[in-house]
A and B are shown apart, each in its own frame.
Chain A
Amino acid sequence: MSEITKNEIEYVARLARLDLQPQEVETMTNHIGLMLNYVAKLQELDTTDIPITTHSQEANNVFREDVVLSSLERENALKNAPQQNGDSFVVPRII
């Protein structure tokens, strides 16, 4: 399970919305292959019936009363946008 091909790297890059140059595909395939080889050692452990830990503390939903609080003003929320029209973020035409 530790082998990874260039095709798989290109597929994963697509999922992650990354365009890789041919040289990058080469390097990433090598490096990620090495890392997958290393992490393969986890398969030595029998983890049947071991619960998963996704959080180091007991993570519970945090509820609060549904009251209106102040939030970021529109102008401030837009000020870092690469392109905006004073009202919304602007992106290339979708349809």
Chain B
Amino acid sequence: MDLYSLTLHEAKEMLERGDITAVQLTQSVLARMDAVEGVVKAYITRNDEGALTAAKQADDLRRAGKAGILCGLPISLKDVLCTADMKTTCGSKMLENFQPPYDATVVEKLKNKGAVITGKVTMDEFAMGSSNETCAFNVPTNPWNSKYVAGGSSGGSAASVAAGECLASLGSDTGGSIRQPASFCGTVGIKPTYGRVSRYGLVAYASSLDQVGPLTKDVTDCALMLEAIAGFDSHDSTSLKQKVPTYSESLIDGLQGIRIGIPKEYFGLGIRDDVNKVVMDSLDKLKDAGAELVEISLPHTDYSLAAYYLIAMAEASSNLARFDGVRYGFRAEDCDSLDKLYSKSRSLGFGQEVKKRILLGTYALSSGYYDAYYKKASQVRSLVRNDFNEAFAKCDLICSAVSPVPAFEFGDMSKDPLAIYLSDILTIPANLTGMPSISVPGGLSTDGLPVGIQLQAPHLKEDLLFKAGWNLEKRVEMVGNFPKPEAQ
């Protein structure tokens, strides 16, 4: 049996029983990388040596009876998370050689629980994109079909999980960046409640929207990973103090008494027919599991995306002001003044998409335009939040597609500069409102690509997402049936 194809919980059980060692498991994953990385291109930095050392340590700890809950399990990290022992590039020339002096809290938590870090995986530059095509380095392909994108911005996370180049991954989600690539690559991915997971050591894109979360092969793995990384952190003033539940306890059969809301506005959003069919089939499956389906209304759906982009870009323009060529990151040569040093370093260090978002954000915050753009968007954010509060009075969960379309071909979205932004319409409300949201594979499109189902819940109701997601997963045939990129 190929150990790399195990789920996290299967491998964990086999390690616990002593059927396999962490070194064997890690060697299998590294060999898998050798076999498929030429096609998949998920990794920016591989950590072969470090992973083998960590695996040996994990085996020692287990023998000593000191195994943590992730002991010996190979996990990849989106290159937006700071690692003290590996470069953190954020997919940008600006941070091409950046070696963080500390580990992000989530990385520290994984390591403390015995995880084996396989390396840093690719992403859109500074997490700005929906196809991973804005990365300054390697762009991953979709393991299901290499002509198609893996999604973004956590494209490397989703591709590395689906291709068996790790058993699980951590990504980040500002407007769908975990859920959309999870959907495109047929993995599970959750954006936790804002504040559930520490952002310390996560390179900031839009601070009021960013969350770290896992991408995994199934819902059980996702629950295990979130349990490992969630919790209060004094280094992140927005992190929540509420106790972390044992999410695995919510994975029980039957959805009796759970009302699943279907927003009527979502049917006018140009969802592709085959995607819609998967959504309908999934709703039937959730109903079979005992859930009650109810129609709900989210009247400001049509405005939420405009508000989201203004807020995200305004925050980005402010966050990215720190890249000035002085303390870390790229510095342009031959600058005779400080001002020139700033502007030349930023102009040469940032790619086009990042510059575009900084410009729009700066414009929206600039004198004379602040009220019309940033303030207006922040008011509409209140309206969107009210929509969801009212909807959750009528239902426990909200179900939809993750993306109106399945994975698209490379370059497809470059013809119309707005198209790629518009495809985020279903995922951005969870970031504006802070509510948790999961993507679970629901079926395949007509071209044989995965289609993810999105479930959204009120703040801190991740347990409900896992429960419903697990019930759906049990009733969907494609889950666990991962692709073979090496055959392409």
CA of A77 to CA of B339, assembled, Å: 23
**B338-373 Cβ-contact flags toward A at 8 Å (1 or 0):** 111111101100101001101110110010000011
- Hey, what's the 0/1 contact readout for A6-48 against B, CB within 8 Å counting as 1? 0011001101111110001001101110111011011111010
Is A92 within 8 A of B377, CB to CB?
no
Partner-binding segment picked from B115-123, B179-187, B301-309: B301-309
Interface centre among B300, B310, B327 (most CB of A within 10 A): B327
Q: Which residues of A contact B432 (CB under 8 A)?
A: 53, 56
Query: Given known contacts A4-B363, A56-B433, A91-B338, is B382 in contact with A51 (CB within 8 Å)?
Result: yes
Q: Is the CB of B358 within 8 A of A18?
A: yes
> A41 touching B355 by the CB < 8 A rule?
no
Interface string of B193-214 (1 = CB under 8 A from A): 0110000000000001100000
Cβ contacts under 8 Å, B326 to chain A: 81-82, 89, 91
A4 to B124, CA, bound (A): 27
Chain A residues with CB under 8 Å of B310's CB are: 39, 42
The answer to whether A79 touches B360, judged by C-beta atoms less than 8 angstroms apart, is: no
Cα separation A18 to B360 with both chains bound (whole Å): 12
Question: B240 contacts which chain A residues (CB < 8 A)?
Answer: 57
Asked if A79 and B346 make an inter-chain contact with CB atoms under 8 angstroms apart, the answer reads: no
Point out the residue from A24, A53, A59 that lies within 8 Å of B382, measured CB to CB.
Answer: A53
Scoring A17, A28, A57, A72 by chain B CB atoms within 10 A of each residue's CB, the highest score goes to: A17
The reply to whether A57 and B434 contact each other, CB–CB distance below 8 Å, is yes
Measured CA separation A13–B379 after assembly (Å)? 27
Q: Which residues of B contact A81 (CB under 8 A)?
A: 326-328
A38, B306: Cβ atoms closer than 8 Å: yes
Which stretch of B95-103, B258-266, B442-450 is in the interface? B95-103
Bound CA–CA A67/B382 (angstroms) = 38
B104 to chain A, nearest CB (A): 14
Contact call B359/A32, Cβ cutoff below 8 A: yes
Known: A12-B363, A81-B326. A20 touches B338 (CB 8 A): no
Q: How many residues of A contact B (CB 8 A)?
A: 52
Cβ of A20 and Cβ of B347 under 8 Å apart? yes
Q: Which residue of A lies closest to B422 (CB)?
A: A38
Contacts of B208 in A (CB 8 A): 54-56
Bound-state Cα–Cα, A76 to B102, Å? 9
Segment from B249-257, B329-337, B394-402 that makes contact with A: B329-337
Chain B interface size, as a band, is 35 or more
Q: A18 is contacted by which of B341, B346, B418 (Cβ under 8 Å)?
A: B346
Q: A32-B363, A38-B418, A92-B341 are in contact. Are A77 and B101 (CB under 8 A)?
A: yes
**Which A residues are in CB contact (< 8 Å) with B306?**
38-39, 41-42
Which residues from B are CB-within-8-Å of A51?
A: 379, 382
Assembled-state Cα–Cα distance A13/B360 (Å): 10
Which residues of chain A come closer than 8 Å to B421, judged between CB atoms? 35, 38
Chain B contacts for A30, CB-based, 8 A? 417
Contact call A72/B379, Cβ cutoff below 8 A:
no
Asked if B237 CB lies within 8 Å of chain A CBs, one says yes
Tell me the complex Cα distance, A36–B369, Å: 12
For the complex, what is the distance from the CA of A56 to the CA of B207, rounded to whole Å?
Answer: 11
Query: Which residue on B lies nearest to A75, using beta carbons?
Result: B101
Cβ A12 vs Cβ B359 within 8 A: yes
Tell me, yes or no, whether B224 is within 8 Å of chain A by CB: no
Q: Which B residues lie within 8 Å of A45 (CB)?
A: 300, 303, 380, 383
- In the bound complex, residues from chain A placing their C-beta under 8 Å from that of B317 are 16
Q: How far is the CA of A63 from the CA of B434 in the complex (A)?
A: 23
In Å, the complex CA distance between A53 and B330 comes to 35
Measured CB to CB, the closest approach of chain A to B173, in angstroms, equals 13
B375 within 8 A of A: yes
Are A59 and B335 interface neighbours, CB within 8 A? no
A-B contact pairs, 28 of them (CB 8 A): A4-B363, A12-B359, A16-B359, A17-B321, A17-B339, A17-B346, A24-B352, A27-B352, A32-B356, A35-B417, A36-B360, A36-B363, A41-B306, A44-B303, A45-B303, A47-B379, A53-B379, A53-B382, A55-B238, A56-B431, A57-B194, A57-B459, A72-B101, A76-B101, A80-B329, A91-B326, A92-B340, A94-B338
9 extra interchain contacts, Cβ-Cβ under 8 A, other than A30-B417, A80-B99?
A36-B363, A50-B379, A50-B382, A52-B378, A53-B432, A56-B208, A57-B194, A80-B328, A82-B331
